[in-house]
Structure 1
Amino acid sequence: METQNYTNHRKYYPPHHFIFLPLLFFLEIFGIYKVFKDSEHELLWILFSVIIFLILYLAIMVRQHYALGLQNRLVRLEFKQRYFELFSKRSDEVEEKLNFSQIAALRFAYDDEFKELLYKALHENISGDEIKKSIKKWREDRNRI
């Protein structure tokens, strides 16, 4: 298995990303094409295109909404736990000063870099992307949605 790092840390679900969604995109383009080419059944193809668009929209938004909402809660909980383990105190005040992007990026750093990058995030306000790029030894997370 390839070592995870900044360039390869994104995750895809092949049936969804490479079969279902492309098929819906194809059907949507086909429906729009037929609207202009089949004037006899134009209304039917418009209805077809609208229905496919709604299915596509729902497929993207519902999946993302639930998965990312849950994932975000877990990332925050992981941050709280890790902060408590490293500093032996609650993270409420620190967490309020960070945006979610920064909190999410910090989970890829091992403990020694975590402390250093957390300090930079709090005092220099570096972005989540800058945090990820600053990590010298990447702590893998292969359990994301």
Structure 2
Amino acid sequence: MESQNYKNHRKFYPPHHFIYLPLLILLEVFGVYKIFNDEENKLAWELFSIVIFLIFYLAFMLRQHYAIGLQNRLVRLEFKQRYFEIFSQRSDEVEEKLSFSQIAALRFAYDDEFKDLLYKALHEKISGDEIKKSIRNWRPDQHRI
């Protein structure tokens, strides 16, 4: 595998970025062009353009799905880092026993409460919502989208 550097660090998904989206844009431009130049089938071309726009919009909104997936990955990474800072050991075994909602809820607890709530999450199986309700001193996260 080639080592990563500035020139090759960007990632593209070729079917999406270089085929699918450009094709949708071309179809939309063609549909709008036909609306103004084919009076006989104007309604059909309007419907065609609306459908293509909706498909394009859906593809564009998938970016939100990717962003949420990335944020969830960062939440897990933050948990691993905090766990290591507090307990000086890896969190792999502990993380496997927790649901994502529990891990996400633990973010809002400061370190002193984190230990107790983690114990309860592991041994009493309290839910993420219960963890959030149990936090006495809330640690805000203003950066999550």
Counterpart AA for 1:46: L
Structure of larger gyration radius: 2
Matched positions, count:
106
Give secondary structure in 2 for the equivalent of 1:70: helix
Give 1:51's aligned residue.
52
Structure 1 segments of 4 or more deviating over 4 A?
none
Shift of 1:64: 2.5
**1:1-145 alignment, distance < 5 Å:** 41-65=42-66, 67-145=67-145
Shift of 1:44: 1.7
Counterpart AA for 2:111: D
Counterpart AA for 1:52: F
Give ranges in structure 2 of 5+ residues lacking alignment: 1-40
Query: What CA distance in whole angstroms lies between the structure 2 residues aligned with 1:52 and 1:115?
Result: 50
Counterpart AA for 2:51: V
- Per-residue Cα deviation, 1:29-85 (whole angstroms, up to 9, x for no partner): xxxxxxxxxxx63312321221221122122212331x2222222211111111111
Query: What CA distance in whole angstroms lies between the structure 1 residues aligned with 2:51 and 2:120?
Result: 48
Counterpart AA for 1:124: E
Q: Under a length normalisation based on structure 1, what TM-score does the superposition of the two structures give?
A: 0.65
Q: Which moved more, 1:48-57 or 1:75-84?
A: 48-57
Give 1:4's aligned residue.
none
Query: What CA distance in whole angstroms lies between the structure 1 residues aligned with 2:91 and 2:60?
Result: 36
Give 1:10's aligned residue.
none
Larger relative contact order (Cα-Cα within 8 Å, sequence gap ≥ 6): 1
RMSD, aligned α-carbons = 1.9
Query: What CA distance in whole angstroms lies between the structure 1 residues aligned with 2:118 and 2:60?
Result: 36
Query: What CA distance in whole angstroms lies between the structure 1 residues aligned with 2:57 and 2:129?
Result: 29
Q: Which moved more, 1:111-120 or 1:40-49?
A: 40-49
Identical-pair percentage: 67
Query: What CA distance in whole angstroms lies between the structure 2 residues aligned with 1:78 and 1:53?
Result: 36
